[in-house]
């Protein structure tokens, strides 16, 4: 699928629907938090690996293309790898966001930039700038492996990641799930019971009897 079209569709999808479409989809762990929960992140991964040193982050800012997301494996370091200047440069270049499995700083300024940033923790002390690490390699971020070019979707609930082929396969199902949820909520707003729309009783009885079953909507 053309990425431009995929991006347009992903911007309308919640991460929860992708996770419901595939329970085993790669999802960053709950320790990765959005700095601005109202912003949505969609883009391809530009991967960075470094620890307590941000020189390689600068290199990535130089090399990453517009629409890409800087995904940084901070390797458990305790020094800040990005702040307001790096975020300003990312905005200037038209990057789609930053995901830092590590430390950031200057969060009050970054929050005003309308730029998606996910992070592990905050600390005022920055790292050094005299070590060269690697970019565009498979990295570990938020407890999952991310490859260069993987597609990322982030919202207030977290970040999910998939290859282009995986996302192409999952997107129609996620869209169907989101439509079903929308219909369900509208029905509930009119006073209909959620339980009446589910096969709950049948499913519960089969689970009690240790039989195969699946909880699903009746429509």
Q: What is the pLDDT of residue 219?
A: 80
Q: What is the pLDDT of residue 73?
A: 98
Q: Looking at the structure, do residues 46 and 154 belong to the same domain, yes or no?
A: yes
Q: Looking at the structure, do residues 150 and 72 belong to the same domain, yes or no?
A: yes
Range of the domain at 143: 3-162
Q: Is residue 44 part of a domain?
A: yes
Residue 57 CB partners (closer than 8 Å, separation 6+): 48, 50, 70, 72, 81, 82, 86
Q: Looking at the structure, do residues 125 and 184 belong to the same domain, yes or no?
A: no
Q: Looking at the structure, do residues 37 and 120 belong to the same domain, yes or no?
A: yes
Q: Looking at the structure, do residues 25 and 104 belong to the same domain, yes or no?
A: yes
The C-alpha atoms of residue 155 and residue 116 are separated, in whole angstroms, by 9
Are the C-beta atoms of 62 and 36 separated by less than 8 Å? Answer: no
Q: What is the pLDDT of residue 3?
A: 93
The C-alpha atoms of residue 132 and residue 141 are separated, in whole angstroms, by 19
Number of domains within the chain: 2
**CATH code for position 71:** 3.50.30.40
* 71, 37, 158, 7: CA torsion to nearest 10: -70
Q: Is residue 198 part of a domain?
A: yes
Q: Looking at the structure, do residues 78 and 32 belong to the same domain, yes or no?
A: yes
Q: What is the pLDDT of residue 123?
A: 98
The C-alpha atoms of residue 10 and residue 6 are separated, in whole angstroms, by 6
Does the global pTM surpass 0.85? Answer: yes
* pLDDT under 50: residue ranges of the chain: none
Q: Is residue 83 part of a domain?
A: yes
Distances (CA, A) of 135 to 48, 70, 183, 199: 4, 10, 44, 49
Q: Looking at the structure, do residues 99 and 178 belong to the same domain, yes or no?
A: no
Provide the b/e sequence for 55-81 (b: ≥16 CB within 10 Å).
ebbebbbeebeebbbbbbbbeebebbb
Q: What is the pLDDT of residue 1?
A: 85
Q: Is residue 214 part of a domain?
A: no
Q: Looking at the structure, do residues 140 and 35 belong to the same domain, yes or no?
A: yes
């Amino acid at each position: 699928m053309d990425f431009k079209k995929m991006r347009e569709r992903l911007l309308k999808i919640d991460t929860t629907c992708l996770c419901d479409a595939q329970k085993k989809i790669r999802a960053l762990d709950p320790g990765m938090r959005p700095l601005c929960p109202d912003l949505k992140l969609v883009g391809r991964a530009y991967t960075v690996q470094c620890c307590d040193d941000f020189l390689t982050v600068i290199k990535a800012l130089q090399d990453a293309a517009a629409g890409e997301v800087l995904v940084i494996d901070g390797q458990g370091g305790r020094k800040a790898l990005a702040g307001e200047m790096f975020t300003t440069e990312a905005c200037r270049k038209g990057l789609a966001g930053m995901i830092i499995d590590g430390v950031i700083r200057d969060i009050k300024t970054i929050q005003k930039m309308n730029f998606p940033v996910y992070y592990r923790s905050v600390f005022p002390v920055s790292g050094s700038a005299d070590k060269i690490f690697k970019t565009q390699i498979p990295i570990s971020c938020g407890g999952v492996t991310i490859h260069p070019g993987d597609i990322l979707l982030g919202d207030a609930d977290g970040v999910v990641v998939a290859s282009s082929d995986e996302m192409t396969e999952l997107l129609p199902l996620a869209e169907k799930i989101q439509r079903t949820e929308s219909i369900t909520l509208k029905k509930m707003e009119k006073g209909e019971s959620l339980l009446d729309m589910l096969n709950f009783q049948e499913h519960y009885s089969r689970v009690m009897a240790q039989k195969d079953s699946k909880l699903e909507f009746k429509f």
